Structure 1
Amino acid sequence: MLATRRATLLATATATAGAALFVGGVLTAGTAHAAAGCQVNYSVDGQWSGGFTSNITITNLGDPVSSWNLRWSYSAGQQVSSAWNATVTQNGSQVTATNLSYNGNIGTGGTASFGFNGTWNNSSNPAPNSFTLNGVACTGGTAPTTAPPTTVPPTTPPPTGGPPQTGLVGWATQNGGTTGGGNASTTTVTSSSALSSALGSSSASVIRVSGNISCSGMLSVKSNKTILGNSGATITGCGFNISNENNVIIRNLTFRNWGDDAINVQESAKNIWIDHNTFDHGYDGAVDIKRGSDFITVSWNRVMNHNKSMLLGHSDGNASQDVGHLRVTYHHNWFDATTQRHPRVRFGNPVHVYNNYYYKNSGYGVASTMNAGVLVEGNYFDGVSDPFHRGEGSSGAGSLVARNNHFVGSGSGQAGGSVNSIPYSYTLDAASSVKSIVTGGAGAGRINP
């Protein structure tokens, strides 16, 4: 049966995951090695009363294949109930997973991954002890896991403690860095027409926003702009669109009641820094990043009274533009009783989500989908029943590595798979201190730009 939705773990569920390793610059879940021909990594990444979530990665060690089926048998009556990134059928104890149209080709040394939900009888949930790929035995065995999610940190972990980092950190420091308008002349705007004209100028500039500007639609932002809010500066009714533009900084603004997105970054925009803003009650995304955009940092923002906070990657069908891009850092943001997308990620790897404060998010915290790789570390989850998971809606699972997070009245989350290493330096605040640090510093009005 082909199924497209991942079952959400309840707050009372006991999650389980494979032991994770850091190998060759990649954070991974524990693997099981097979003999020549194929290698299979089978992991139980979540387990609760009557149900479990598993993920499988196939590595082809033989000649390239253009289609595949993987077979195994369960020994304790487990039944597959739904799946993603494969068509999975079961006849008695035997399970067959077959590729979908987009993931049938596996070159020599290449991989294919899929996942599924299943049921078990609560007495035992042993892993399969043999697999065949297109009829060839993968004889190295498996590495089933029942321990809580763990991750061994990189050889040189980031330093912890010290004052919070309020300058530019993360992906926006890469690719030559992000300077916005730099030392260009400053223009102060107090009306929607003046704001639109300044944002749309082809010249590098520093734009200071003063007072409450009411507007509608999306205002286009050109390259090499620094947009700073003076004390109390508010954008009401409209949003900013950064499309195929580069080197933009947006700081210290309050966005309220926007009619589309508050900030939309798209069409291969690069080197964007969105910092110390407040987003209050809008229609669609507070900060949406999509269509091949890259090298972006979203930091010290507060999102409140809102549903869809931060989307990364707009559709499952946009892999050709998005794979290898959508590299974003989210740090020290305050997701204040918002619902979902904190962020919801497609394709980007690595996406770095660290030292954010999650407070009573009624939907979920972080979702990794469509083969994305998300590192979730040092965050504070406060009253969040579903802190993070893999797969969302009809989107297949991505990888998610979780480490050093702090949970208060929250679920344990779902992690698994591998994530590329982080290329930049950063200071990781102790997760238990993140609540006080972030609530004391996130949002507009907390800096003097």
Structure 2
Amino acid sequence: MRRTSARFALATVVVLGGVGGVTTANAADSEPAQAETLAVGTPTGFGADTTGGAGGDVVTVSDADAFIEAADSDGPLQIQVQGTIELDDMARVSSDKTIIGVGSSGRIDGSGLNIADADNVIIQNLTFSNSNDDGINVQYSTNVWIDHNDFTNPNDGALDIKRASTDVTVSWNHTYDSDKNMLLGHDDGNASEDVGRLNVTYHHNWFDGVNQRNPRVRFGDPVHVYNNYYDNVGSYGVASTEDAGVLVEANFFENTEDPFHLGEADSGPGSIVARDNHFVNSGSGEAGGSVASIPYGYSPDNASSVKSIVTGGAGVGNI
């Protein structure tokens, strides 16, 4: 099921020419025009309440200094990324931000984003490439929606969510050329912060030849993994560890010997409930235990249709 493309109404702004790689909205210098929120569609799942920078001004950035300043500014802001932003270090993203790529050209290269101690963040339609760390790291943050991005060739994880973060939706992303792809919960010893949190929905993502952690889960219960396409996954798809509870539902696994299992390396087992998945030239997976009820309504696509739906709609340029 494709997302809706409805947009929210927003305060009036006018976009004028700026300096230093940033174009800003400044209604005081001209007659105001009606603007709309930059984010396309609405999130479903645990991140459903995320609105990002809606209600804030719109800026367009085209260099690293302007991007870093805008992303970590106070108050709601909507940031359009024009072209490639070259980062040397992880750039912090503060609360009430929407960051969205313009067309298919928006790219964060060389390092990634650190959504830290933040609430209400949307990241959409960006390519994250060649990070010297993670593509995106989320920690101590809530109400986050990461949607329709590409992730490729990170030094560490493509998208890691950890340290008491919760109420996150990861949807319609395309990940490739990645080893440790998506981690949820960073350490076996972090139960005091993570139990009762790390509630994340992963849906309609394309795990394209990646190796492991799609996701690897600690503590979160429930975590919902549905309608994703796993293609030529090397080591394993989903791992549930350290008393986590993961519902693995209506996914399409192709050429994936180990679709899902309990425990991983030195981490003890969690639980997996698996239902209505579709397997092509793949193993059957290891499930067991119980998972807390999913607390929201949703309508999954039929698993046999997920490959065509996801490959036709995931990633940059498909919003």
TM-score (norm 1): 0.62
C-alpha displacement of 1:222: 0.5
Partner Cα separation in structure 1 for residue 77 and residue 116 of structure 2? 18
Partner of 2:45: 170
C-alpha displacement of 1:164: 2.1
Q: AA paired with 2:163?
A: R
Q: AA paired with 2:170?
A: V
Deviations 1:113-155 (A, max 9, x none): xxxxxxxxxxxxxxxxxxxxxxxxxxxxxxxxxxxxxxxxxxx
Deviations 1:310-351 (A, max 9, x none): 000000000000000000000000000000000000000000
CA contact (8 A) 1:164 1:429 kept: no
CA contact (8 A) 1:165 1:427 kept: no
Q: AA paired with 1:409?
A: N
Q: AA paired with 1:216?
A: D
Q: AA paired with 2:108?
A: I
- What runs of 5+ residues in structure 2 fail to find an aligned partner? 5-41
Equivalent of 1:253, from 115, 119, 126?
Answer: 126
Partner Cα separation in structure 2 for residue 427 and residue 254 of structure 1? 28
| Higher Rg of the two aligned structures | 1
Partner of 1:443: 315
Partner Cα separation in structure 1 for residue 271 and residue 3 of structure 2? 27
Equivalent of 2:226, from 316, 335, 354?
Answer: 354
Partner of 2:297: 425
Residue 36 of structure 2 is aligned to residue 198 of structure 1: no
Q: AA paired with 2:265?
A: G
Deviations 1:20-45 (A, max 9, x none): xxxxxxxxxxxxxxxxxxxxxxxxxx
Paired residues for 1:33-182 under 5 Å: 163-165=1-3, 167-173=42-48, 177-182=49-54
Partner of 2:176: 304
SS of corresponding position for 2:310:
helix
Partner Cα separation in structure 1 for residue 219 and residue 88 of structure 2? 31
Partner of 1:160: none
SS of corresponding position for 1:439:
helix
Partner Cα separation in structure 1 for residue 274 and residue 190 of structure 2? 26
Deviations 1:208-242 (A, max 9, x none): 00011111110011100000100111111011101
C-alpha displacement of 1:165: 2.8
Q: AA paired with 1:172?
A: G
C-alpha displacement of 1:266: 0.5
C-alpha displacement of 1:427: 1.4
Partner of 1:67: none
TM-score (norm 2): 0.87
C-alpha displacement of 1:413: 0.2
What percent identity do the matched residue pairs reach? Answer: 58
Q: AA paired with 1:293?
A: S
Partner of 1:234: 107
> As a proportion of its length, which structure holds more strand?
1
Partner Cα separation in structure 2 for residue 400 and residue 244 of structure 1? 30
Partner Cα separation in structure 1 for residue 59 and residue 90 of structure 2? 20
Equivalent of 1:379, from 238, 241, 251?
Answer: 251
C-alpha displacement of 1:183: 2.5
SS of corresponding position for 2:315:
coil
Partner Cα separation in structure 2 for residue 301 and residue 343 of structure 1? 13
Q: AA paired with 1:378?
A: A
Equivalent of 2:287, from 410, 415, 440?
Answer: 415
What is the aligned residue count?
281
Partner of 1:185: 57
Computed over aligned residues only, the root mean square deviation of the Cα atoms, in angstroms, reads 0.7
Q: AA paired with 2:123?
A: I
Equivalent of 1:316, from 188, 194, 214?
Answer: 188
Q: AA paired with 1:234?
A: R
SS of corresponding position for 1:358:
strand
CA contact (8 A) 1:286 1:310 kept: yes
